[in-house]
A = this chain, B = another copy of it.
Amino acid sequence: MLKRYLPILAWLPHYNRRLCGADLLAGLIVTIMVIPQSLAYALLAGLPAVVGLYASILPLAAYALLGTSRTLAVGPVAIIALMTGAALSGVAPPGSPAYLEAALVLSLLSGAMLAVMGVLRMGFFANFLSHPVIGGFLSASGLLIAISQLSHLLGVDASGYTAFALLTSLSRHLPTLHWPTLAVGAGSLMFLVAVRRWGQPALRAIGLPRGLAALIARAGPVFAVIATTALSAWLDLAEHGVAVVGTIPGGLPPLTLPGFDGPLWRQLLVPALLISVVGFVESISMAQMLAAKRRERISPNQELIGLGGANLLAAVSGGMPVTGGLSRTVINFESGARTPMAGLFAALGIGLVTLALTPLLAHLPVATLAATITVAILTLVDVPLIRRTWRYSRSDFSAMALTMALTLGEGVEAGIIGGVLLSIMLFLYRTSRPHSAVVGRIPGTEHFRSVTRHDTETVSHLALLRIDESLYFANARYLEDTLYALVASRPELEHVVLICSAVNLIDASALESLDAINARLKDSRVTLHLAEVKGPVMDQLKKSSFLDDLAGRVFLSTYSAWSELSRPSS
Interface residues of A (CB under 8 A from B): 124, 126-132, 285, 288-289, 291-293, 295-298, 300, 388-389, 391-393, 395-397, 423-425, 427-433, 435, 468-470, 472-478, 480-481, 484-485, 487-488, 491, 502, 504-505, 507-509, 511-513, 516, 519-521, 523-524, 540, 543-545
Using A293-B520, A296-B488, A393-B507 as known contacts, list a sample of 9 further A-B pairs with CB atoms less than 8 Å apart, ordered by residue number in A.
A124-B477, A127-B432, A128-B428, A128-B473, A132-B508, A388-B545, A396-B508, A430-B505, A468-B504
User: A127, B396: Cβ atoms under 8 Å?
Assistant: no
| Of B392, B474, B491, B545, the contact of A127 (CB 8 Å cutoff) | B474
Q: Assuming A297-B484, A300-B481, is B124 touching A429 (CB within 8 A)?
A: yes
Cα A524 to Cα B295 with chains together (Å): 6
Cα A488 to Cα B478 with chains together (Å): 43
Cα A393 to Cα B541 with chains together (Å): 10
User: A504, B435: Cβ atoms under 8 Å?
Assistant: yes
User: A423, B473: Cβ atoms under 8 Å?
Assistant: yes
Q: Assuming A124-B429, A124-B432, is B393 touching A540 (CB within 8 A)?
A: yes
Q: Which residue of B lies closest to A472 (CB)?
A: B427
Q: Which residue of B lies closest to A546 (CB)?
A: B392
Chain B: minimal CB distance from A113 (Å): 16
User: B516, A289: Cβ atoms under 8 Å?
Assistant: yes
Q: Which residue of B lies closest to A400 (CB)?
A: B508
User: A391, B432: Cβ atoms under 8 Å?
Assistant: no
30 pairs from A and B in contact (CB 8 Å cutoff): A127-B428, A127-B432, A127-B473, A127-B477, A128-B425, A128-B474, A129-B473, A130-B472, A130-B476, A130-B508, A132-B508, A288-B516, A288-B520, A292-B519, A292-B524, A295-B488, A296-B488, A297-B484, A300-B477, A388-B544, A391-B544, A393-B508, A396-B507, A397-B508, A424-B428, A427-B474, A430-B505, A431-B470, A468-B504, A502-B502
Cα A435 to Cα B485 with chains together (Å): 33
User: A291, B484: Cβ atoms under 8 Å?
Assistant: yes
- Main secondary structure on chain A at its contact with chain B? helix
Q: Which residue of B lies closest to A480 (CB)?
A: B288
Residues from chain B with a CB closer than 8 A to the CB of A507 are 130, 393, 395-396, 427
Residues from chain B with a CB closer than 8 A to the CB of A521 are 292
Q: Which residue of B lies closest to A470 (CB)?
A: B431
User: B428, A131: Cβ atoms under 8 Å?
Assistant: no
Q: Which residue of B lies closest to A429 (CB)?
A: B124
Chain B: minimal CB distance from A432 (Å): 5
Chain B: minimal CB distance from A311 (Å): 21
Residues from chain B with a CB closer than 8 A to the CB of A477 are 124, 126-127, 300
Q: Assuming A288-B480, A473-B130, A473-B131, is B392 touching A540 (CB within 8 A)?
A: yes
Chain B: minimal CB distance from A218 (Å): 21
User: B476, A131: Cβ atoms under 8 Å?
Assistant: yes
User: A127, B478: Cβ atoms under 8 Å?
Assistant: yes
Chain B: minimal CB distance from A549 (Å): 12
Residues from chain B with a CB closer than 8 A to the CB of A488 are 295-297
Q: Which residue of B lies closest to A385 (CB)?
A: B512
User: B295, A491: Cβ atoms under 8 Å?
Assistant: yes
Residues from chain B with a CB closer than 8 A to the CB of A396 are 507-509
Q: Which residue of B lies closest to A473 (CB)?
A: B130
| Of B127, B473, B540, the contact of A476 (CB 8 Å cutoff) | B127
| Of B389, B508, B544, the contact of A508 (CB 8 Å cutoff) | B389
Residues from chain B with a CB closer than 8 A to the CB of A470 are 431
